[in-house]
Amino acid sequence: MSDKGRTRVFVYGTLLSGEPNSHLLERGDLVSKATTEPSFELVSLGAFPGMVAGGETAVRGEVYAVDRWTLTAMDRLEGHPRFYRREPIRMDDGTEALAYLLSGEQAAGRTKIASGDWRSHRKERWT
């Protein structure tokens, strides 16, 4: 998950390119658009999503290579480790990246995003 001193991180919500918090990734390099293995659930927390391990959904997002400063800024935004927990996950191409996950308890009762795509879900909600 490390590339030349940089850490690979999978983002799937407000950190995606063009989204409200994408400015935090200005020092990062977009590695690729990416999809997780189908072993998660994506839920809506209103203004942002949460990903939970243990489901059957492939979540769509982007992988960035980030420096230590950017990872620290992302940890602050995501409330790691108090709210989200940063953990390694597997992508559908077999590579690994870190991702910010919610616990099942935090996601209980939240609307599931069956498509695994936050942007599509958000557009559907507002059209």
Beta bridge partners of 102: 52
Short-list 39, 17, 41, CA closest to 28: 17
Quick count: other Cβ atoms within 10 Å of Cβ 119? 16
Round to whole Å and give the CA distance between 100 and 91.
Answer: 14
Quick count: other Cβ atoms within 10 Å of Cβ 19? 17
Catalytic residue among 78, 87, 96, 105: 78
Active site residue 19: no
Residues taking part in catalysis: 78
